A and B are shown apart, each in its own frame.
Chain A
């Protein structure tokens, strides 16, 4: 049995046309790609299309991918662009919804420390406040905290300077603090 390949090996093979290697990259990143697309496009069908098209376009653009650069932010930029195109085309605004109040968060037997911070009422209020944010701030907050991207990855995904992401995030958190405190 061979050793598991690291990402740079897979990228190198994929750049040489190895579709099996690329399939492994798809497997590794499809979860975050879909979640990112969903948070931008606002529905599962568009998110699925955006993620799939993003992977196909990334494959075709692999020749331009800089050796040694992190793959995830580069990929997410392509996926996020696809998701933005679909949202603009539909002319709608994405709204996020909570799971049913009786449903437990995925798989955890005991609530996480973060989950215990929030009562049902506070969750609802905070989500409403997020949905009320201006679109440019809402997307930054969603990608940063709901998709778990770093500020650098958010900046890459949205094709923005990191400073812009920081300032939008700060303004959004100020607004949310008013609802949360």
Chain B
């Protein structure tokens, strides 16, 4: 070690770095709380998040043509879209919360390798926030993977659904508007919100499903998605 390096070590000992707190009880409380919360969700307070993609073909009768699953999301193609209208990206997601409040409320720890916004939204099993990327607002939603079957989508005929190279498995939805519904359930299915949605990137990684929605193109959305879980 050179003289300068020894001087830096000495300097480090004299820096005004406070003693860290004892984190044991807080960490233990958090890691023991989550499984209980998840079980309670499944049994009593499970939130159903429904996202729909449907093929709107002229015949008035609505019928499901196809559906498939990605992580927590089920995508359904139907002949006619359910009635819906343009709404805010965060419609149906409740009031704005701090990150800590949202993580506690959702039971989902945030994965976001990017500057963190100030406002978050939570439903049991789902954590969401609005990111700004290339000057556009993008809704990021992270869903706990063990709540499979909680989401579904309906798409119009102009909506393209294609594989996307991200995570374990990814899908890119672009084109015609599709209908997004957030549905809650406490023993019974109850629809909370329904709105038209724009371009969407969906992917799974580990036991989590990620969903990005906004006015970005495929390349921009993939760049953003890869940054989030980098």
A residues contacting B by CB (< 8 A) are 19, 22-23, 26-27, 30-31, 33-35, 38-39, 44, 47-48, 51-53, 55-57, 59-60, 64, 81, 85-86, 88-89, 91, 96-99, 105-106, 112-115, 117-118, 122-123, 126-127, 130, 141, 145-148, 173, 176-177, 180
Contacts and interface: CB of A to CB of B under 8 A. Distances in A.
A173 B28 contact: no
A43 B3 CA distance: 29
Contacts of A97: 15-16
B20 A126 contact: no
A130 B12 CA distance: 11
B7 A85 contact: no
A55 B27 contact: yes
- Chain A interface mostly helix, strand, loop or mixed? helix
21 contacts: A22-B27, A38-B18, A48-B20, A52-B23, A52-B30, A55-B27, A60-B109, A88-B116, A91-B115, A96-B15, A97-B15, A106-B13, A112-B10, A113-B6, A117-B6, A126-B8, A145-B8, A145-B9, A147-B12, A173-B2, A173-B5
Contacts of A60: 31, 109
B113 interface: yes
A75 to B, nearest CB: 12
Most chain-B CB neighbours within 10 Å: which of A52, A113, A145? A145
A30 B14 contact: no
A8 to B, nearest CB: 20
Interface magnitude class on chain B: 35 or more
The 7 closest A-B pairs by CB, nearest first: A34-B20, A146-B12, A114-B10, A145-B8, A89-B116, A97-B16, A88-B115
B162 interface: no
A51 B23 contact: yes
A35 B21 CA distance: 11
Given A33-B20, A98-B15, A85 B112 contact: yes
Interface string B202-216: 000010000000000
A22 B8 contact: no
